């Protein structure tokens, strides 16, 4: 087959275009993704964010992601200062899920605009003080978990912003009128001033607790960090044996997941808010890729009204070639052992 000069020229141009595209992917990986990491969240923006605390003037302009596509620790530290979150353990930050979702939504409605923070992190003591003084504050506020902020964007109507986030059904969003909204990475829900229940006792007895994972996507065999939030009371226990529910409801199968704890301990005690943010388990290396939710069962419940179990947000398991190869190799070795 003989190609014309024009056809050869077109093929050459196509090859150059493909080479440039591949080079760009290598030089500029997708946000939150490196050669060894999956894209961590289902919804992600470009990672660039400018945020200012309107009470003390602290502000930060950052990229949430570093050159390798992982989370930028310096940027997270800067955002923590704007939120008023500090003094915690090394590596502890305002919720990554909250920041990624905030970036995602603000990129959609007002890309590049300053995020004006009205309320960020609240210590439990400060939250209680606000509530006792008559503030419109929930006893189990997600602000105490580093998972919420109240904010506004210049030139963006608060109701419009609220409606956009509400449609995604991914998070908590409230609007009390005016330009600002409450936004959190807790249980998906929405409310307005007339439907807010901050003054009720509905969240007492841990009735509105919420289980979430640090990320949305994980590799096979990866260690997962869990958060139990919107808690009213401590202590209580989590049974060491949890379940991975395939396709969200478990009808297509369940897999046992072991919560980390002391040897011989069947009920892992959650003594305080720090412990509720430090629950870990390792995914089975041979877990089939797909969508799952995780069910926790509770033990040593302080109240009958507290739920006996809870189910997490949805996560996705992606295949990890190294983990999968190691798992297959261990199975082969096991099969070769004399019986």
Residue 309 pairs with which residues in a beta bridge? Answer: 297
Residue-by-residue DSSP string for 318-333: E--HHHHHHHHHHHHH
Tens of each residue's pLDDT in the chain, 339 residues:
444 444 434 434 444 444 444 333 333 344 444 445 679 999 999 999 999 999 999 999 999 999 998 999 999 999 999 999 985 566 799 999 999 999 999 999 999 999 999 999 999 999 999 988 887 788 899 999 999 999 999 999 999 999 999 999 999 999 999 999 999 999 999 999 888 877 788 889 999 999 999 999 999 999 999 999 999 999 999 999 999 999 877 778 899 999 999 998 999 999 999 999 999 999 999 999 999 999 999 999 999 999 999 999 999 999 976 544 443 443 334 444 444
What is the per-residue pLDDT for 23? 38
In the block, residue with structure tokens 């289902």? 42
Q: 3-class DSSP state for residue 211?
A: strand
In the block, residue with structure tokens 């004399």? 338
Domain 205-321 sits in CATH at: 2.60.40
What is the per-residue pLDDT for 136? 79
Domain with CATH 3.30.1380 in the chain: 48-200
What is the per-residue pLDDT for 291? 96
Domain with CATH 2.60.40 in the chain: 205-321
For domain 48-200, give its CATH number from 3.30.1380, 3.30.1120, 3.30.200, 3.30.390. Answer: 3.30.1380
Residue 151 pairs with which residues in a beta bridge? Answer: 117, 181
What is the per-residue pLDDT for 135? 78
What is the per-residue pLDDT for 203? 87
Handedness of CA 306, 165, 175, 131 (dihedral sign): positive
330's tokens? 């261990």
Q: Residue 287 to residues 29, 74, 199, 320: CA-CA distances in angstroms?
A: 27, 34, 44, 10
What is the per-residue pLDDT for 251? 79
What is the per-residue pLDDT for 33? 45
Residue 279 pairs with which residues in a beta bridge? Answer: 226
């Amino acid at each position: 087959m003989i190609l014309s000069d024009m056809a050869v020229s077109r093929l050459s141009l196509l090859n150059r275009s493909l080479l440039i595209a591949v080079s760009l992917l290598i030089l500029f990986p997708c946000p939150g993704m490196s050669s060894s990491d999956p894209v961590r969240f289902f919804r992600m923006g470009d990672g660039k964010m400018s945020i200012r605390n309107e009470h003390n003037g602290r502000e930060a302009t950052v990229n949430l992601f570093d050159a390798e596509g992982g989370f930028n620790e310096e940027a997270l530290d800067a955002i923590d200062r704007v939120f008023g979150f500090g003094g915690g353990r090394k590596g502890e930050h305002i919720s990554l899920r909250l920041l990624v979702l905030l970036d995602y939504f603000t990129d959609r409605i007002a890309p590049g605009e300053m995020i004006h923070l009205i309320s960020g992190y609240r210590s439990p003591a400060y939250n209680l003080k606000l509530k006792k003084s008559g503030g419109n504050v929930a006893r189990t506020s997600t602000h105490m978990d580093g998972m919420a902020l109240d904010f506004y964007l210049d030139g963006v109507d608060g109701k419009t912003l609220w409606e956009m986030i509400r449609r995604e059904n991914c998070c908590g969003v409230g609007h009390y009128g005016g330009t600002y909204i409450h936004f959190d990475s807790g249980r998906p829900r929405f409310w307005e001033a007339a439907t807010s229940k901050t003054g009720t006792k509905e969240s007492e007895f841990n009735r509105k607790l919420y289980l979430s994972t640090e990320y949305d996507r994980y590799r096979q065999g990866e260690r997962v960090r869990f958060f139990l939030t919107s808690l009213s009371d401590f202590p209580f226990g989590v049974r060491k044996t949890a379940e991975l529910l395939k396709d969200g409801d478990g009808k297509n199968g369940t897999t046992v997941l072991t919560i980390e704890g002391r040897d011989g301990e069947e009920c892992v005690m959650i003594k305080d808010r720090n412990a509720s943010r430090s629950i870990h388990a390792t995914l089975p290396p041979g877990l089939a890729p797909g969508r799952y939710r995780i069910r926790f069962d509770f033990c040593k419940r302080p109240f009958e009204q507290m739920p006996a179990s809870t189910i997490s947000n949805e996560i996705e398991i992606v295949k990890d070639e190294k983990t999968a190869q190691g798992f297959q190799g261990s199975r082969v070795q096991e099969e070769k052992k004399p019986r």
